[in-house]
Each structure stands twice: as C-alpha cells, then as structure tokens.
C-alpha cells in the first residue's frame, strides 16, 4: 500500500502541470470563439475565414493532445496502482498459504487475514481519489483567486472621505505606474503635474505615451505603483471612490453603450430621467436632431455596444451622458475623434460654455480640440516632456511643435 500511494503521488506534479496547460488552452479557446464572433465583420472584409478557422482548429489540436496526455497519465497511474495492489494481494496470499501448509496458521486465520487486507485496500483507494479531487479543486481555486484575491474597493469604503477640500486642483507627485504582468518599464514614469481647478488642461502626445492610463488613474480605476494623486491636499486614495466618481464625468475611448433606450443610455444610474437635463445634454452633444428624427425619439432602443448607430452617433451619446451628469470634474479621452469637422466644431462650441466652473482634462490629438486649453501637457514615453499654453509651446519648437507641424502638414 505504501508503494501504491508513492506511485500515485509521483504523478501528481505532472498531472498538475497538465491541468494548468488544459486550463490555459481552454481559456484561449473561449477567447478565440468570442473574438471570431465579435470580429466577424473584419474577418469577412479581409477574406480570412480559412485562416481563422485553421487558427481555431490548431487550438482544438492542442486541446486534443493535452487530453491524450491526460489519458496516458491516467492509464499509467491505473496500471501501476493495479500492479501494486494485485502484487500485494498475491504476496500476502502466498505467505499465508505457505504458513497454512507449514502448520503455522489455520485456514480460518488465512481467510480472516485476506479479508482484513482486502478491507484495508478500499480506504487507500478512496484516499487516492480524494487526493486527485483535491488537486483539481486547488487548481480551480488558484484561477478563481486571481480575481477574488484582489482587494475589493468596497471593503474599506466606510472609512473614506465623502467631502472634497475647498481647493480642488489635482496634483500628481512622483507618480509611476505599470500594468500587472507587464514585461516592460513603467507606462507612466515619475510624473509631477498640477491640473488647475476650474481650468481646461489638455494632454497630448504620441500613441502609447500613457495618456489614457493617466485618465484611468485619475478616475481611481488603478492605484499608482509609486507616488500620489491629490485633490487639493487630500490623497485620492482616501476619498470614497463612489463619491469621487459621482463628482466626475468621463468620455472614454472604449465607452460602453447599453442595450437600452437612448434616454436610459444618457441618464445612466438614475431611476427617473430629468427631461430638461436630458434635452440640454443632447443639445450640447449635437445629437438632438438625430433623436427627434426617430419614430419614438428618446425611447428608441439601441443595441449592445452601439449596434444600429454610427461611431459618431455613439460618441455623441457618450458625450451627452457626461453632460447629463453635470459633474465638477470632466475627463475626456479622445471624445471627438470619430466626429466630422462640422459636428466637432458645434460640440466644442457648446462644451466650452459647459466647461465654465469645472475642472476639465482633455486627451486629444486634434489641434482644434487642444489649442484653446488653459494648459497643455505633452507626454512622451510616459514622462512629462513639456507643459504650457499653445503659444508658449509652439515658440519652444519642441515635442508639441512637432505634433502641430505634422498635423498641419497632413491638413495641407
């Protein structure tokens, strides 16, 4: 029985590795299926149905091979366990029979001994089965703990502040951040920056310079690895996140459109829609004419992720959502990049009026969006390269000047 247990335990390590591979491949398979369904339009446009099908089939082959390895491992365990179990029974039966022949044991004693040994085998087999089930459960729990092990922002929410200081400029002090599992340097590296209260601050820079990450940090989605974010003199991490987000409005690049009516998509999180606020929001977002042209207007249901509306209309609904909230702090991440020039001009005209008395952070590439900002911050490879007004930065002939120059050349 000892050899039997040792034999089974020897395979536990390999079984664990195999189960990890199976989990990883199964996860990849699910992601691949979702990707093919959501990306069907691009697959059709690029005539890559066969490549995507072969990609899926290669994943199935890997899963099949892992399954075969699992069966082989199981059979080896089974063969070994049967061998040791039966060998034990044969050896004990032989010794007992010899003892009976030699007169050292009666036949009844031999039968009793064989029965007792047989009864002992069952608990050992049950223990081995339990060990296998425990290992399976342990691997599953490890994967679940990747989510459950994270600190829940709700846990210590009662101890956090639900009031903002009188001076509400946003300051970033020696801030550095990298995403979990990232195999590169900090996305944001040693950022020192002040976002003045009731002013418009524009953040510009090349793609991948950390602009969107900075917005998400300001909204409290992530904690910085180093440094602090302060509202006045109060660290952001001691302010109740629900309270902070109630004071903040945002339009993100990947903003979500719910499978609900237009009114419910704009007035998110409220039970009773305020019609006056709703009309003001759609006017600022320059989408009122489109909504009025629909047969049932604000009650028109739009699909998940904006199905049935254009990208520009989707973006204007997201802008209307932020305006309806009437927040004290506004964060816009490429909020007008899908709009034509006429719509953008009209919306920016309305937004400049809406900005009065609010602290605004705008991430944008277009010169027309940022040139009138009170302060422009240029990010380059996760660091603050320049900051100042449009006139000050163009006279420096640095990074911002290059961005403006390239955009004007493209315009010509």
Is there a single domain that holds both residue 250 and residue 115? no
Domain assignment present for residue 176? The answer is yes
Is there a single domain that holds both residue 177 and residue 306? yes
Name the percent of the chain lying above pLDDT 70: 94
Is there a single domain that holds both residue 143 and residue 188? no
Is there a single domain that holds both residue 168 and residue 72? no
Is there a single domain that holds both residue 75 and residue 138? yes
Give dist(CA 286, CA 247) in Å, integer.
Answer: 23
Output the six-digit token pair for 333: 């991440």
Q: Give the domain-ending residue among 117, 148, 179.
A: 148
First-residue to last-residue Cα distance in the chain: 84
Note the pTM of the prediction, 2 decimals: 0.72
* Helix pair angle (275-284, 311-325), 10° resolution: 130
Is there a single domain that holds both residue 217 and residue 301? yes
The CA-atom distances, in angstroms, between 1 and each of 122, 209, 232 are: 11, 63, 70
Domain assignment present for residue 14? The answer is yes
What does the pLDDT read at residue 412? Answer: 46
Closest CA to 391 of 378, 369, 376: 376
Closest CA to 258 of 270, 249, 268: 268
Q: Residue 224, SS3?
A: coil
pLDDT digits (tens, 9 = 90+) for 199-234: 999 999 888 788 889 999 999 888 888 999 999 999
Name the percent of the chain lying above pLDDT 90: 25
pLDDT digits (tens, 9 = 90+) for 22-32: 888 888 888 88
Domain assignment present for residue 153? The answer is no
Q: Give the domain-ending residue among 148, 176, 210.
A: 148
Is there a single domain that holds both residue 66 and residue 137? yes
Output the six-digit token pair for 24: 């990883």
Domain assignment present for residue 242? The answer is yes
What does the pLDDT read at residue 194? Answer: 92
Domain assignment present for residue 349? The answer is yes
What does the pLDDT read at residue 115? Answer: 79
pLDDT digits (tens, 9 = 90+) for 354-399: 999 999 999 987 777 888 889 999 998 888 888 898 888 888 888 8
Q: Residue 170, SS3?
A: strand
Work out the average pLDDT over 244-258.
89
DSSP state of 258: -
Is there a single domain that holds both residue 128 and residue 266? no
Half-sphere exposure of 311 toward its Cβ, with a 13 Å CA cutoff? 9
Is there a single domain that holds both residue 95 and residue 194? no
pLDDT band at 253 (very low <50, low <70, confident <90, very high): confident
Is there a single domain that holds both residue 179 and residue 292? yes
pLDDT digits (tens, 9 = 90+) for 334-350: 888 888 888 888 898 89
Give dist(CA 261, CA 182) in Å, integer.
Answer: 39
pLDDT band at 154 (very low <50, low <70, confident <90, very high): low
pLDDT digits (tens, 9 = 90+) for 160-205: 888 888 888 999 999 999 887 544 578 888 899 999 999 999 999 8
Q: Which of 120-129, 207-216, 279-288 has the lowest mean pLDDT?
A: 120-129
Q: Give the domain-ending residue among 118, 148, 178.
A: 148
User: Count of CB atoms within 10 A of residue 8's CB?
Assistant: 22
Work out the average pLDDT over 74-93.
78
What is the total count of domains within the chain?
A: 2
Is there a single domain that holds both residue 120 and residue 220? no
Q: What is the CATH number of the domain that holds 80?
A: 1.20.1560.10
The CA-atom distances, in angstroms, between 390 and each of 202, 372, 393, 412 are: 10, 7, 5, 20
Is there a single domain that holds both residue 312 and residue 276? yes
Domain assignment present for residue 111? The answer is yes
Give dist(CA 328, CA 346) in Å, integer.
Answer: 22
Domain assignment present for residue 273? The answer is yes
Which structural domain range is residue 219 located in? 158-411
Mean pLDDT over each residue of the chain, to the nearest integer = 84
């Amino acid at each position: 029985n000892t050899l039997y247990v040792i034999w089974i335990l020897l395979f536990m390590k390999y079984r664990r590795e195999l189960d990890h591979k199976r989990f990883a491949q199964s996860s990849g398979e699910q992601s691949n299926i979702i990707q093919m369904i959501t990306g069907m339009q691009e697959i059709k446009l690029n005539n890559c149905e066969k490549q995507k099908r072969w990609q899926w089939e290669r994943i199935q082959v890997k899963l099949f091979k892992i399954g075969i390895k699992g069966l082989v491992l199981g059979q080896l365990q089974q063969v070994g366990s049967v061998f040791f179990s039966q060998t034990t029974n044969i050896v004990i039966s032989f010794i007992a029979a010899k003892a009976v022949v030699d007169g050292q044991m009666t036949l009844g004693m031999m039968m009793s001994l064989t029965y007792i040994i047989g009864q002992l085998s069952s608990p050992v087999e049950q223990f081995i089965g339990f060990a296998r089930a425990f290992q399976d459960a342990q691997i599953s729990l490890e994967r679940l703990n990747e989510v459950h092990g994270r600190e829940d922002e709700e846990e210590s929410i009662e101890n956090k502040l639900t009031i903002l200081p009188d001076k509400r400029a946003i300051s970033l002090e020696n801030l550095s951040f990298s995403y979990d599992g990232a195999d590169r340097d900090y996305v944001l590296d040693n950022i020192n920056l002040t976002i003045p209260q009731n002013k418009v601050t524009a953040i510009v820079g090349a793609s991948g310079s950390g602009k969107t990450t900075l917005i998400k940090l300001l909204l409290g989605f992530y904690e910085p690895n180093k440094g602090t974010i302060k509202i006045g003199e109060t660290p952001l991490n001691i302010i109740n996140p629900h309270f902070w987000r109630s004071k903040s409005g945002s339009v993100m690049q990947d903003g979500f459109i719910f499978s609900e009516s237009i009114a419910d998509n704009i007035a998110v999180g409220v039970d009773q829609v305020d019609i006056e606020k709703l009309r003001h929001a759609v006017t600022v977002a320059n989408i009122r004419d489109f909504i009025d042209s629909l047969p049932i207007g604000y009650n028109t249901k739009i699909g998940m992720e904006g199905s049935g509306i254009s990208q520009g209309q989707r973006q204007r609904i997201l802008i209307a959502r932020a305006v309806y909230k009437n927040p004290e702090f506004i964060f816009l991440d490429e909020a007008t990049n899908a709009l034509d020039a006429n719509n953008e001009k009209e919306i920016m005209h309305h937004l400049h009026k809406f900005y009065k008395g609010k602290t605004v952070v705008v991430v944008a590439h277009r010169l027309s969006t940022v040139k009138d900002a009170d302060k422009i911050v240029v990010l380059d490879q996760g660091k603050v390269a320049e900051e100042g007004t449009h006139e000050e930065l163009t006279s420096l002939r640095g990074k911002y000047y290059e961005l403006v120059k390239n955009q004007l050349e493209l315009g010509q």
